[in-house]
Amino acid sequence: MLLLLTAAFCIQGMAQELTNPIIPGFHPDPSICRVDSDYYLVTSSFQYFPGVPIFHSRNLTDWQQVGNVLNRQSQLPLAEATAWQGIYAPTIRYYRGTYYMITTNVGSGDRQVPGRLSSDNFMVTAQHPEGPWSDPVWLSQGGIDPSLYFERGKCYMVSNPDNTITLCEIDPATGRQLNPSQAIWKGTGGRYPEAPHIYKKGAYYYLLISEGGTELAHSITIARSRNIYGPYEANPQNPILTHCSRAGQNSIIQGTGHGDLVKDVNGQWWLVFLAYRNYNGAYHHLGRETFIAPVKWGSDGWPVVNNRQPIALNPPAPKARRTEFDSPLGPEWVYLQNPDSTAYWLHDGQLRLYGSIHELMTNRQPTFAGIRQEAAAFTMDTKIASYDFNDGDEAGLSVYQMHNGNIQCCLNNYHGMYRIKLRLNLKNVRALLVDRVINPDTEGIWLRVGSDGKQYTFSYSTDGKKYHRLEAIDCSLMSTETVGGFTGVVLGLYAYMGSTKYQMGRSYADFEYLNYEEK
């Protein structure tokens, strides 16, 4: 009895210490697995490279990114992928010494990849979660949000072709489908039944899915069967998690759904899931984030999430991250689509960005490198230490939601005069908000953006001490509700070659550092 009470106390204390979100910012569609006392979690990445960030934790509270599953271009074709496309929800599983990650690459347009089938679903494997991970093994069964379930040497794949949860057995080594796909559940009637995961507990197979779409109506439902192929009976208490309810409707946290279950080392069950935080009204611009909630199993054999109460917000402590560019960029840095490796050069403690002929609005591999915005209130600044511009060239920082929704604050060469420009790109409309002539100091140009969660405020400096305010832009203009997409804001550095004088050489800008501090 004493041991049971001690374990219960430890579990309760662990739940009280959990932050939410556990992985903030644009980190949607979480999937989790436990290997001994280690937990590994992956999220979707859409049009960004590298893809599928992977995190490690020992306590389900403190998470560290240890890499990206898809970090080679042979694994991740992203030709002109938009914020609606690219890498959708991944699932991570561990079985008999091997890590498996299965996901969907939507709309890459590259059907010439060796071994690729008509489906967009593929799987990669690794002996260690940090990698290296294999090249893709392409799969036959379609739909999105594929998942794997292993039992007695067999590997089952589940996904949602035709809005129906569908199951088949596959060879995990080759990906070959071993039997016909079989429909097993259509959900409870909500739209877009997706994100299926299968678990075995006691005599039952449990099928966890999401319904309602990844917006306000998002929810998690569950069904069970004594046979993996069904028939599945729905939980009478569905949905087991949603904030589209009277209890949850006033929470800043909305869109709760797309979950995955895990049992910790103490035998306690948890649910990781995505949700987003509304700011400045019914808008979210940070993207869908990863949250966690405790799960108890009732006497009727059904799981109960968070005692059927809404999820409380308990954000992590503000973080500060400074990149000096004196070593390779960390795994948190991402590029748009497949980057042109010749456009990025680390040298002498600086990051040189060579200008691309493609602007951020064109969605064609622009020169851009950035990190996710993970808190509503923050300040980010950088220094352009040196540059070589022809007429029309520019470089600077960007608040980037997607190609049809981003803000650029830059140093620009216009007919030999240097200017600071602030530009809002919104739904194919380019609005020049500030165009200020300056005399750049030989020491460089400093650019800064800060936010309180309601507005982005931009400024610049010619000496690194006195900053000149440019303009404030409403954060809701960078929200998913305004511009669309499935992602969140990424704060980045970019360079654009607008000059037609290509024979004079490729323009560039040298960035000395990037400093990001949350408040």
Catalytic residues: 29, 194
Work out the burial of residue 5: count CB atoms within 10 Å of its CB; fewer than 13 is exposed, 13-18 middle, 19 or more buried: exposed
**Distance in angstroms (rounded) separating the CA atoms of residues 376 and 189:** 35
Closest listed residue to residue 28, CA positions, set 51, 44, 49: 44
How far is it, in rounded angstroms, from Cα 225 to Cα 184?
10
Instruction: Decide: helix, strand or coil at residue 3.
Output: helix
Q: Report yes or no: 485 and 406 within 8 Å, Cβ to Cβ.
A: no
Q: Whole-angstrom Cα distance, residue 418 to residue 414?
A: 6
What are the tokens at 490? 């990424």
Q: For residues 424 and 409, is the Cβ–Cβ distance under 8 A? A: no
395 residue type, one letter: A
Q: How many whole angstroms separate alpha carbon 115 and alpha carbon 143?
A: 18
User: Residue 126 is which amino acid?
Assistant: A
Token code pair at residue 248: 């949850």
Picking from 128, 140, 40, the residue whose alpha carbon sits closest to that of residue 90 is 40
Which residue do the tokens 């690194």 mark? 464
33 backbone dihedrals φ, ψ, rounded to 5°: -145, 155
